[in-house]
Amino acid sequence: MKIALVAHDKKKDDMVQFTLAYQSILEKHELFATGTTGQRIAEATGLKVRRFQSGPLGGDQQIGAMIAQNDMDIVIFFRDPLTAQPHEPDINALIRLADVYEIPLATNMATAEILIMAMERGELNWREIIRNRRHAGGSL
C-alpha cells in the first residue's frame, strides 16, 4: 500500500511517535511524506520515505495529484485544528480529493491507529483491487 504521512508543525512530534510505534507495519509499505515531516520520520525510524515539497510549497498538492491518479491508498494527516494554516486551501483540496476518490483518511492519531490496524489485518486490500482496475483502464 502507498501511504501519505503529513503533519502540521505542532503535530510533527506526534507523527514521529506514531511511526515509531507502528514501524514494523509501515516498513512493509511505500511511504510518502511532505518535506520536514518525511525527514523527521526517516531520521527517527530509518524508514524509507519519499519526500515531497513542504505543505505550503506544494507538498499537499503533490499528494493530491497522486490521489487524483488513484496512486495513493491511505492518507494520514495529523492536522493542527487550533492553529491557522496559511495554505488552508491546499489542505482542504487534499481532504476533498481523498473524499472524491474514496481514499481512507485519518486526521488524528486515534483514527490513524484504527486505519493502520485495519490495513495490517487486510481490511483495506480492496484499495489494491480498485487501483489495479483503474490503472488497467477499467471503471467501477
Which of 35-44, 47-56, 94-103, 125-134 is predicted least confidently? 125-134
Catalytic member of 9, 13, 14, 60: 60
The question of whether 71 is a catalytic residue gets the answer no
For residue 138, the model assigns a pLDDT of 55
Q: Which CATH class is domain 2-135?
A: alpha beta
CB 70 within 8 A of CB 134: yes
CB 29 within 8 A of CB 75: no
Enter the DSSP assignment of 57: G
For residue 136, the model assigns a pLDDT of 65
pLDDT tens-digit series, residues 6-57: 999 999 999 999 999 999 999 999 999 999 999 999 999 999 999 999 888 8
How many beta carbons lie within 10 A of that of residue 1, not counting itself? Answer: 17
